[in-house]
Amino acid sequence: MIEETDLRIYLGIAGSTITTPRPCVFVGVSRWRDFCSALCVSLKANELAGRLKRFATRVVIFARALPTDASSQVLARQLTGSGTAQSANYHAARRGRSRAEFIAKIGVAAEEADETEHWLIVIQDAHIVSTTAGLKELDWLLDESRQLRAILVASTRTARANHRHHQ
């Protein structure tokens, strides 16, 4: 049995450490691994939530800069709706009251990510954006959208598989 009164865990994120508020007792290495594994999952979840919020913010700013003609504004509304819904649904998934609710919400976030990618491709293919800065932002949004979609789809699959395994 390992007993520490001041347990410091290096997280590797800008030199962050966590200090426990009171003495911790870990029985064996397996519980320590479980603790570290849970901490790692939580950190990854926080990182994904932050990426989704930053992406949503950039989508809104990008949509505001689109031309004001009717067709561009329709695309801007569609893009803004799906681009911000990813973050909102992931946020709701993390606060789900059950495993089933988590799976449902994260699945919706994945669908919204797929839709966002679709609208970004339509904007690109329709040559709605013509400035160098706008094209650069569109490229970044497309790349980030693809990455976020892949993460959310993989998370949905993992959550469903784990749910079936635990039943």
- The closest alpha carbon to 159, from 151, 43, 82, belongs to 151
Evaluate whether residue 109 is within a structural domain.
Answer: yes
CA angle 146, 11, 15 (to 5 degrees): 100
Structural domain contains residue 22: no
Measured in degrees and rounded to the nearest 5, phi and psi for residue 105 equal: -70, -40
Mean pLDDT by 10 residues, the chain (167 residues): 39 45 48 53 86 98 97 98 97 92 95 98 97 97 98 93 75
Cα distances from 17 to residues 7, 9, 11, 64, in angstroms, run 10, 5, 6, 39
Query: What is the pLDDT at residue 167?
Result: 64
pLDDT of 24 reads 46
The two beta strands, 8-10 and 24-26, are unpaired
Element (H, E) at 84: helix 70-94
Domain count, the chain: 1
Q: Which region, left, alpha or beta, applies to residue 12 given φ > 0 means left and ψ of -120 to 50 means alpha?
A: left
Which DSSP state fits 11?
Answer: -
Residue 105 within a domain:
yes
- What CATH number is attached to the domain comprising 146? 1.20.1440.60
Whether 5 is covered by a domain: the verdict is no
Per-residue model confidence (pLDDT) at position 6:
38
Q: C-alpha distances in angstroms, 152 versus 38, 89, 121?
A: 19, 11, 19
Q: What was the pLDDT predicted at 39?
A: 53
Amino acid 33: pLDDT: 53
What range defines the domain where residue 88 resides? 45-166
Parallel/antiparallel/unpaired status of strands 17-19 and 24-26? unpaired
- Residue 42 has what pLDDT? 75
Domain assignment of residue 133, yes or no: yes
Q: What is the pLDDT of residue 164?
A: 76
CA distance from start to end of the chain:
33
151 domain-assigned:
yes
